[in-house]
């Protein structure tokens, strides 16, 4: 089965640990970069969830992860907005990354 990881502050990763994601807690941009660098080389990780504010604060880190890793990196919004992907798009990306169909 595909492995999931959640990278972000404590509240964010704890919430996603409930669906089976490996929690990787980081509070600073430097910790965020180190975490993504470590995850990029892991072949057992197929999807990485990050909080949108952290991804927006470090776009070069996200781009580097996407170049190095085959895993899908999904930035999840923490507040509702019309600028975010639809739930259907996020679901499709997760299903594609994990090879599983979500209900």
pLDDT tens sequence across 18-63: 888 999 999 999 999 999 999 999 999 999 999 888 999 999 999 9
Mean pLDDT of 4-8: 94
Predicted pLDDT of residue 24: 95
pTM metric for this prediction: 0.75
Is 8 part of any domain? yes
Domain of 86, CATH number, reads: 3.40.50.10580
- The pLDDT assigned to 18 comes to 82
CA atoms in the 13 A half-sphere facing the CB of 31: 11
Q: What is the rounded CA–CA span in Å between residue 87 and residue 43? A: 26
Classify each residue of 37-48 as buried b or exposed e, where b means 16 or more C-beta atoms within 10 Å of its C-beta.
eebbeeeebbbb
Over residues 78-98, the pLDDT tens digits come to: 765 556 555 566 667 777 777
Show the domain range for 44. 3-98
State both tokens at 51.
């909080």
What total number of domains does the chain contain?
1
Is 28 among the domain residues? yes
Report yes or no on 103 lying in a domain: no
């Amino acid at each position: 089965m595909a492995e999931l990881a959640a990278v972000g502050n404590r509240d964010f990763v704890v919430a996603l640990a409930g669906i089976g994601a490996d929690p990787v807690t980081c509070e600073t941009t430097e910790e965020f970069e180190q975490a993504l660098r470590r995850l990029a080389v892991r072949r057992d990780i197929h999807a990485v969830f990050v909080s949108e504010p952290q991804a927006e604060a470090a776009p070069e880190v996200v781009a580097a992860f996407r170049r190095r890793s085959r895993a899908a990196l999904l930035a999840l919004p923490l507040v509702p907005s019309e600028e975010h992907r639809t739930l259907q798009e996020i679901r499709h990306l997760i299903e594609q990354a994990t090879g599983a169909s979500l209900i």
